[in-house]
Structure 1
Amino acid sequence: MRVTRRLLLGASGALAMPGLLRAQGTGPIRIGEINSYTTMPAFTLPYRNAMQLAVETLNAQGGVLGRQLELVTRDDAGKPQDAVRLAGELVNDQKVDVLAGAYFSNVGLALSEYAAQNRRLYVGGEPLTDAMVWERGNRYTFRLRPSTYMQAAILAEEAAKLPAKRWVTVSPNYEFGQSGVKWFKQLLSARRPDVQFVGEQWPALGRVDAGATVQALEQMKPDAIFNVLFGPDLTNFVRQGNTRGLFEGRAVVSLLTGEPEYLDPLGDEAPEGWIVTGYPGEQIDTPAHKAFVSAYRGRFNAKPMCGSLVGYALIQSIAAGIARAESTSMERMVEGFRGASFESPVGPVTYREIDQQGTLGVFVGRTALKNDAGVMADWRYIDGRDLLPGDDFVRKLRPA
C-alpha cells in the first residue's frame, strides 16, 4: 500500500504530524546530524532545539512507519574535514539511517561529496550554495533551504525597482558569498541593463576588517550596496558603516540580514530601510505558524529563530521522505525523497525531482526599528517554486 498521507500542521492551529503506517522492525530510525554548534550557536542551537521538538512530536504520534525517530548530533566546528570524519563515525559506528545538517556551504559540499562516494542519503538543512544541487549535485544529496540563487532572485527583483545605477558588493570570500554575488549581479543586470558594478570587497569569513572595508566601499562612490556578510562580520560592518556614514543616502540590499539571529545582536544599531531576506518570526499570523510558535515557546521558553524554522522543517522533510519510500533501505529512501512533499509551518514544501532542491520559500522585506530592536517590516513570503529556474536551466548545470 502506497503511503499518501502528509505530515501536516493542521489548519486548526494544532501541531498535527500523524504516525506513518506500517512498521519495519522495532528499532528507531536514526538521524545523524552534523553542524557548527560551537562556531555559530546563534543559529544552530535554536535549530537543534526545533529538531528535537519535531522528533518528540512525531514520536508522540506514533513515529514514522511505526518506528520512533532518534536524533544523534555532532559538532563539526565549521571544518569540512571534521564533518566528513564525523559522518563516517555516524554511519559506521552509530549506524544512522540518514545524514543531515551543516551550516556553512563548504561543509555542506564536503558532506555531499561523502554522501555520493559512500551512497548515503544526506539532507542539507542550512547550506545555501547552489553547487550543492547543481554543478556538484548528486543522487544522494537533498537540500531544504532556499538557495543563494533563490534569495538573490527576489532581492534582484526588488533592487531593480531602485533608481540606483552604481553598485558595489561586499561578501565573505568563500562558496556561499561568491555564489550570492554571482547570481545577484547576473539577475539584476538582466532586469536592469543600465546598472554598473563598480567595485567589490571580499573579506575573509569571520575576519572582516570592518573599518577598512567600509572605507574602501565609500571611496567607490556607489549609489547602492549589495551585502552578503552575516553573523559577527555583519555586526561589525553595520557598526562601522553607521559610524562612518556609509549608508547615508544609499540603498542597501542584503542577504539574510532579516533573520533575528543577525538582527538581534545589533539592538538599536540595526539599520533601517535595507531590503533583506529573513524571517519575521512571530509576525506570521497563519494558524500553522502560530501553532509552531506556541509549541516552541512552550518547550524552550524562547521565541523561535530562523534556525528553529529550518530545524523543524528539516525533520518534517526527513519523515515525509521516509514515509513516501515506505522503507529505510538506502536506494528506496532516495527515490522516496525525490518528489516528497510536506506541510511546513510556513506552507507546503516539495523536494524537486530535477535537482532535489526543496521549495521552502523566502521572506523578503525591509529592516526597521521597533522598541529599539531590528525587525522585518513590509514583508511578504514567496513560494520557493516561484523562485527556482526551470528544468532546462538545471540540466545545463547538473551532472547527468
Structure 2
Amino acid sequence: MTRTPFAALVGVVLALAAMQSGRAQAPDVVQVGLVMPLTGVLGPVGKQAVAGARLYMAQHGDMVAGRKIELIVRDDASVPDNAKRIAQELIVNDKVAILGGGLTPSVLALAPLVTESKTATVVMVSGTSIVTERSPYFVRTSWTHAQQASVLADWAARNGSKRATIIASDWAPGHEAAGVFSASFTAAGGSIDEALKVPLANPDFAPFLQRARDGNPDTLFIFVPASQAAILAKQFVERGLDKSGIKLIGPGDIADDEDLPGMSDAMIGMITAGFYSAAHPSDLNRAYVAAFRKANANVRPNFISVSAYDGMHLIYEALKATGGKTNGDALIEAMKGMAWESPRGPMSIDPKTRDVVHDIYIRKVERVGGELYSVEHETFKAIKDPAKVANK
C-alpha cells in the first residue's frame, strides 16, 4: 500500500518523538555525529574535518561534565539526500544528541530535520552566509566567504588596486565571494572591469586569463576550488600575466595548506585573505600543527581541520556550561557568545547570528624551510559576517 504524504510525515514525527525519549536511555554517553564527505572529489575536505575533531578528543579526553563523548562518523559522499537520510538515522536510531555539519548543500538539507528535532548542530565546513539563517539550531565554527572577500577587497583598494577583473567558478560559493568582493571593492573606490564565470567541472582557465589580460586590469581576483588553484596559477605564469603587473589575489581556500606542499613555485607571491594558515605564528598553532602531522602521516592541517577542531571545542564547552545536559535549546544558548583562543587565533560566536567571529589575515605565499606556506602580513581583527552586519 502506498503511504500518503501525511502518513509519511506522521511517521517522521513519531520517530523524532521516539528519539527524544530514547536519548535518556544512555545518560552517561553523549553521541556526536559528523556527517561529512569522505569519498569522491571532496573526500579530502571531510577527512581533514574528521581528523581535526578526533585530534581535539585525543588531546582533551572523552569525558565532559561526567558524560562520555562518542564520535560517530558517516560519509554522505557530498550528496544532500544522503546527508539528510544519514542524519535522521543518527538522531533516531543512534540517539545522537549533537551533529557536526559539512558542505553547504548537505547542511541546508539538514535544516528542517534538526529544527524539528531540536538538535544542536555545529557547522564545521560550510562557508555560505545564509546557512545559519536556515535553522536556529545551527552554530558555525568554520568561516564565511563574505568575511574573506570583503577584507581582501578593502586591502586591495588600500594598496593601490583601482581596476579589478574577477574569475570565479560558476557555483554558489563562487557567486557569493565574487558578489561580496565586487560590492566591497567598488564601495572602497575601485571598479570591476569584468566578472567571468568559469565552469566548475574540468575548467580550462586559458581563455579566461587571456580575456582578463586583454582588459589590462591592475588586479585579478580569483575564486576556484583549492584543487584547481595550482592549475590556474600555472597558466597565469605561462601566459605571462605574472610579468604584466597584474596582481593575483583570492580567498584563503585557493592556497590550501594540504595542497600547497605539492604546488609549484608559480604560487609564490599570491596574495590571499584567510582565517587560518599552518604558518600562523603562535605557540598554540605550532603545537596543533605538530600534533596533527604526527597523528595523520605528516599531512599538514588546513583551514577545514581547524574548523572541526574548534567545533569540538565549542561542543565540549557548551556541555560543561549545561552540566552535561544535551537539550538543544540549552546547548545553543550556551554556545552563543562563547570566546576562546584557537590555533587560528582569537575567535568567538556572535550571540545574535550564531556565526563565527575571528581574525582574517592577509597572507602571501612564500617558500619557508623548503615548503610553500601562506605567511601572514596583516591582520583584520574580529571580523563578523558582513552580509549579516549589513542586514541589521
Superposition deviation, residue 286 in structure 1: 2.4
- Secondary structure class of the residue paired with 2:357: coil
- Once the two structures are superposed, the pairs formed by residues 31-110 of structure 1 within 5 Å of their partners are 31-38=32-39, 39-59=41-61, 63-103=63-103, 105-110=104-109
> Which residue of the other structure, out of 156, 178, 192, is the alignment partner of 1:197?
192
Distance 1:237 1:391 in 2: 32
Find the partner of 1:251 among 247, 267, 283.
247
TM-score, length-normalised on structure 1?
0.82
Q: CA deviation at 1:378?
A: 4.4
- What is the deviation of 1:189? 1.3
Q: 1:228 maps to which residue?
A: 223
C-alpha distance in 2 between matches for 1:296 and 1:372: 20
**Is 2:125 the partner of 1:126?**
yes
| 2:136 is equivalent to residue 139 of structure 1 | yes
In the aligned structure 2, how far is the partner of 1:57 from the partner of 1:145?
20
For residue 306 of structure 1, what is the aligned residue in structure 2?
Answer: 303
Q: Which of 315, 318, 337 is 1:318 aligned to?
A: 315
1:337 matched residue in structure 2: 335
How far did 1:388 drift? 4.3
* Distance across 2 between alignment mates of 1:126 and 1:265: 23
| Stretches of structure 2 lacking an aligned partner (at least 5 in a row) | 1-24
1:357-396 map, 5 Å: 357-370=355-368, 373-383=371-381, 385-389=382-386, 393-395=390-392
Q: Report the residue type matching 2:88 in the other structure.
A: G
Shift of 1:154: 1.6
Q: Between Structure 1 and Structure 2, which shows a larger proportion of helix residues?
A: 2
Distance 1:161 1:94, change over 3 A: same
Cα drift, residue 227 of structure 1: 0.8
What is the TM-score when the length of structure 2 is the normalising length? 0.84
Q: For the Cα contact (< 8 Å) 1:288–1:345, is it kept in 2?
A: yes
Q: 1:288 aligns with which of 284, 289, 307?
A: 284
Could you tell me how far apart the structure 2 residues matched to 1:242 and 1:190 are?
30
User: Separation in 1 of the partners of 2:165 and 2:86?
Assistant: 39
Structure-2 separation of matches of 1:373 and 1:59: 33
Structure of higher RCO (CA pairs closer than 8 Å, 6+ residues apart)? 1
Query: d(CA) in 2 for partners of 1:265 and 1:202?
Result: 26
Structure 1, unaligned stretches of length 5 or more? 1-23, 396-400
2:46 and 2:387 map into 1 onto residues whose CA distance is 32
SS in 1 for 2:198: coil
Cα distance, 1:117 vs structure 2:
4.5
SS at match of 1:168: strand
CA distance in 1 between partners of 2:368 and 2:261 (Å): 11
Matches of 1:236 and 1:392, distance apart in 2: 35
Structure-2 separation of matches of 1:117 and 1:218 = 51
Seq. identity, %: 20
Give the aligned CA root-mean-square deviation in angstroms: 2.6
Compared CA separation, residues 120 and 51, structure 1 to 2 (3 A): same
Q: Which residue matches 2:178?
A: 181
Q: Secondary structure at the match of 1:156?
A: helix
Task: Please give the per-residue CA displacement for 1:294-349, whole angstroms capped at 9, x wherever unaligned.
Answer: 33244334243333322211111111222223310122222222223333223443
Residues 163 and 193, structure 2, Cα contact 8 Å, conserved in 1: yes
CA distance in 1 between partners of 2:86 and 2:156 (Å): 41
Structure-2 residue corresponding to 1:11: none
Per-residue deviation, residues 142-169 of structure 1 (Å, max 9, x unmatched): 1112211211222112111233322111
Residue type of the partner of 2:284? A
CA–CA distance in 1 between the matches of 2:197 and 2:56? 38
Q: Does the 8 Å CA contact 2:34/2:71 hold for their aligned counterparts?
A: yes
Change (3 A) 1:207 1:269: same
Deviations 1:190-223 (A, max 9, x none): 111xx22121222233432223332333333322
Aligned match of 1:14:
none
SS state of the match for residue 331, structure 1? Answer: helix
| SS of structure 2 residue aligned to 1:363 | strand
Moved more, 123-132 or 218-227: 218-227
Structure 2 residue identity aligned to 1:203 = V
Structure 2 counterpart of 1:207: 202
Distance in 2 of aligned mates of 1:191 and 1:330? 42
CA distance in 2: counterparts of 1:56 and 1:164, whole angstroms? 46
CA–CA distance in structure 1, aligned partners of residues 379 and 236 of structure 2: 29
Separation (CA, whole Å) in 1 of partners of 2:329 and 2:314: 17
Aligned residue identity for 1:111: L
> What is the SS of the residue equivalent to 1:96?
coil
- Shift in alpha-carbon separation, 1:334–1:76, aligned structure 2, 3 A: same
Tell me which amino acid in the other structure corresponds to 1:232.
S
Q: Contact 2:101–2:123 (CA<8 Å) still a contact in 1?
A: yes
Does structure 2 conserve the Cα–Cα contact (< 8 Å) formed by 1:259 and 1:279? no
Distance in 2, Cα, partners of 1:207 & 1:226: 20
Number of residue pairs aligned between Structure 1 and Structure 2: 364
Distance 1:320 1:350 in 2: 12
